[in-house]
Amino acid sequence: MSKRNDGRSDRDPVREFKDAVNMNPGELGKWLATDDSKSAGQHKGGGESVGHESGRRIMDLLRKRANQFTERDVAHMRKVVGYVRRHMAQRPSGDVRNTRWRYSLMNWGHDPLKEPLPPPGGPSRKALQRHQDAERSSGRNRRR
């Protein structure tokens, strides 16, 4: 990964965002409507949590086409990727199914119980899935 003159990496922020966000708009919308979602995260002055607000914005971003993204959208995508990666590095031990840690991540569009987060700058989630599918397929062919 190289750095640009402004200190940001050359990685594609849209791809990184799509790798970090593993919930679709419908799943995220359903989640954001729950009491667990509303209670998770840091609340600004008793109002909506930062993550919950971000989740609503993420739903909008997931519905946009790549050519519709503004600089502000891309900046938020970078913020989401950073949050998800930092939070995943702080995974608590044990069953995380009903934890505030998971709920907070889900507000940011990432359910840690789904597929793992790809390494930064590595193959995308889609590329990893294609590779796994090809391995499974070739394994079936060898057994025959």
3-state secondary structure of 9: strand
Predicted pLDDT of residue 5: 46
| Amino acid present at 93 | S
Residue 87 near residue 67 (C-beta atoms within 8 A): no
Tokens at residue 90, please?
A: 């702080």
Q: What is the pTM of this model?
A: 0.77
SS3 category, 3:
strand
**Per-residue pLDDT, 123:** 67
Please give the pLDDT value at position 4: 42
Confidence of residue 110 (pLDDT cuts 50, 70, 90): very high
Alpha-carbon span 116 to 119, nearest angstrom: 9
Q: How far apart are CA 127 and CA 121, in angstroms?
A: 12
How is residue 128 annotated by DSSP? H
